Structure 1
């Protein structure tokens, strides 16, 4: 399963959503602080949207510490980019956990310090409220609204 996660992250480095999605089971369950829980096609569309919006921009992904067995996997990765809403540089370090089924990723959970991300993305305002459930809920509503718009235009 190591090869599957290397394929996934190498595709992400190259902003190749189609190859990333090949690594996902049809019943994929994705979860992270920014989007909340996404299932099946919606999770796949999130990667399509993210890869599409970052093409031609100063976006970098690196990954390390891939560890797997037949059932579970772990990895660390880092994204560097300009947050489009504020133009501020963000360096986000993420820990990922995976579960596998039929040789594919069936569950993908990304964890990161949302408060640290908010400070980078929004400055003082992010420092002030970035560690609150209010902020997390508002962020998830906004990211899902953006995903809704992407899906309505591209599906």
Structure 2
């Protein structure tokens, strides 16, 4: 197995164990992360995983199809969890794409069907508005606000 495939495997194994410190160690200091909700850089990425691991009481994760070479990699994964805002169970299916630098994850892009996610997480409002930029913007703003509060309230992220 290529060392970068081992890195991705280590990352997802740590995520399954809610070991955010190992997840953080997989990222380059100048890393960038993006998904349908977050656009983050550097230490923000580790803080997001920390927050999600800490708050994901019933989080279950499965990953497969890990592939990587010297520069790029990918994986498919799914996460099941209760969305805290609504108490609804979500099963989210994602495709991850990676770029590597200095033996670490340098760019990480997770892609998922936002409308499908919103139907699970939000119910009827997600079904009716999950396709709209308005709902996407609201979810992104709420997630960003929650992450900023988490960072501010956690001395580990003070510089």
> TM class by shorter-chain length?
over 0.9
* Unaligned 5+ runs, structure 2: none
SS of 1:146's equivalent?
helix
Q: Which residue of 2 aligns with 1:146?
A: 146
Q: How does 1:5-154 map to 2 (within 5 A)?
A: 5-35=8-38, 37-54=39-56, 57-154=57-154
Q: C-alpha displacement at 1:86, in angstroms? A: 0.8
Q: What's the TM-score, normalizing by structure 1? A: 0.96
Quick one: distance in 1 between partners of 2:51 and 2:145?
12
Give the CA deviation at 1:133.
1.1
Whole-Å Cα distance in 1 between the matches of residues 121 and 55 of structure 2?
17
Gap runs ≥5 in structure 1: none
**In 2, distance between residues paired with 1:6 and 1:98?**
12
TM-score (norm 2): 0.94
Which one of 2, 26, 41 corresponds to residue 5 of structure 2? 2
User: Moved runs in structure 1, 4+ residues, more than 6 A?
Assistant: none
What SS does structure 2 have at the residue aligned with 1:131?
Answer: coil
RMSD of equivalent CA atoms: 0.7
Mapped partners of 1:5, 1:39: distance in 2: 18
Deviation at 1:134, TM superposition (A): 1.1
